[in-house]
Amino acid sequence: MKENLPTQKINSSLATLNFDNAFVRELPADPESSNSLRQVHRACYSRVLPAQVSAPKLVAYASEVAELLDLEAAACESDAFAQIFVGNQLLPNMDPYACCYGGHQFGNWAGQLGDGRAINLGEIVNLQGERWALQLKGAGLTPYSRRGDGLAVLRSSVREFLCSEAMFHLGVPTTRALSLVLTGEQVTRDMFYDGHPKEEPGAVVCRVAPSFTRFGSFQIFSSRNEIDPLRQLLDYTIRTDFPHLGEPSVAVYLQWFEEICRSTAEMIVHWMRVGFVHGVMNTDNMSILGLTIDYGPYGWLEDYNPDWTPNTTDAAGGRYRFGNQPQIALWNLAQLANAIYPLIEQAEPLEAALQLYGDSYKQGWQEMMAQKLGLKEFVPATDLPLTADLEKVLQLVETDMTIFYRKLAELDPIDEQDDDSLLAPLLDAYYHPEKLSKVNKHQISDWLRTYLHRVSQDGLSTNERRQGMNAVNPKYVLRNYLAQLAIDKAEAGDHSLVNDLLQVLRQPYAEQPESVSFAEKRPEWARNRAGCSMLSCSS
């Protein structure tokens, strides 16, 4: 049994982390104690210890997340911190476990999945009374590891660490990341499952969220007709994560599902706003809190293409492509509705809640597009055709979505500009501006004239409109090639770019002139490079 780290060896703020661990205290546990691969029935979790590693080394930590946990900077930079958040040592009252859940993968029921490479250290309650679960990704085998080794590599860990924090600062609902720690071990991975495995540096990310409960957490019990633990988990979830709904009952179960429908719609609207593509929207990767969870083969929409998916596994079918994300979220919610049906036994209110998702998404999307375009409000009569035509315009030639919206804010509604003058402020958004034909220029300029006429009807000053647009259209996102550059350096022992990106991505809407190189569109060398345009579930 792994021993707790002696208190005298740890910084005071680490020693005072207040672990409450209600999840393991109140929910049914796996009765078997061995860490062996197996089917786990009628249990929400299995107790398991993280693996020991040889040489933990801190790569980076997020100071804002440390503050959420009441951790001081000195604690985060201590040797004890790296030992604890790689899994080598336990703090007093940590009670590690891996969760049992199932899920639909690419539309097919996969049965039991579970935390195959994630180990929860427990839940702390901070000085503000907030509950935060701490989870190590890549900390070793669990009963749910299936054919894997429970480990993670630096490549995927850099991407998860940076994207978690980038999304938070963009205003997207998300899980957080406290730390990224090298293990000192080598891990064998076949990145594209094509028979070319290689050794890569191992790493562990500490993920932080109020809860890591997923749609699949309920599906596994329902699929097995294990109704008592299904009810136990739902009652616990309502009392712990949704206490404002009141004591659990059938009526409260329905209110709970309605709230998940609304929060999921809000999350997807944000994804579409910033051009984020999750890449693997399986039901086991959907949070009941409406948080973006499990950063695997995600990507950022650089040139605007609604059919793009970053996941090579999904390349043929495109199930999880950018433009399909709203529909997939609805499909996943329907699977959650099926899972809780045995506790409700009424189809109509569940169907009404799913309709609520559609209505919430539609309203949220319209409000979001009005903000992106600098409009006071979305007026369907004029703005539905305006946005429909914009989608066509963005696909006429290869157009960088992030730069286009940012540059659109710079336009002034000056009368009678010719096509070239009107397009001049936007040229940086085009990957090959020299390929803009005269017809293309005229089509885009026609849309711009319609847009500027619509803007003028609102009566906002150019400065007011620009400030509003720049508050929702980021200048900086975690572009795929930037993440890969940071990975390349980190694998060579240089962690500076990981920390530089973390710093820049803390203020994605600010100009940050000293960091303008991080706002540049994808370079040509990254167009087809692995890690920049092609990703897999390998981590």
What are the residue ranges of helices labelled H in 426-521? 438-456, 462-470, 480-491, 496-504
Indicate the Cα dihedral angle 163, 164, 167, 173, nearest 10°.
150
Percent of the chain's residues with pLDDT above 70: 97
- Catalytic: 284? yes
Mean pLDDT, to the nearest integer, of 514-537?
A: 90
Read off the pLDDT of residues 182-226 as tens digits, 9 standing for 90 and up: 999 999 998 767 788 999 999 999 999 999 999 999 999 999 999
5: pLDDT strictly greater than 60:
no
Angle at which helices 154-170 and 496-504 pack, to 10 degrees?
20
d(CA 133, CA 123): 4
Of the given ranges (247-261, 282-296, 317-331, 410-424), which has the lowest mean pLDDT?
A: 410-424
Residue 7 is predicted with a pLDDT of 42
Read off the pLDDT of residues 120-155 as tens digits, 9 standing for 90 and up: 999 999 999 999 999 999 999 999 999 999 999 999
d(CA 107, CA 518): 36
Read off the pLDDT of residues 64-80 as tens digits, 9 standing for 90 and up: 999 999 999 999 999 99
Split at pLDDT 50, 70, 90, the class of 530 is confident
Residue pair 88/53 in contact by the 8 Å Cβ criterion: yes
Residue 351 is predicted with a pLDDT of 98
Distances from the Cα of 412 to the Cαs of 124, 333, 368, 408, 422, in angstroms?
A: 51, 43, 22, 9, 9
The active-site residue, picked from 30, 115, 235, 284, is 284
d(CA 309, CA 323): 9
Residue 208 is predicted with a pLDDT of 98
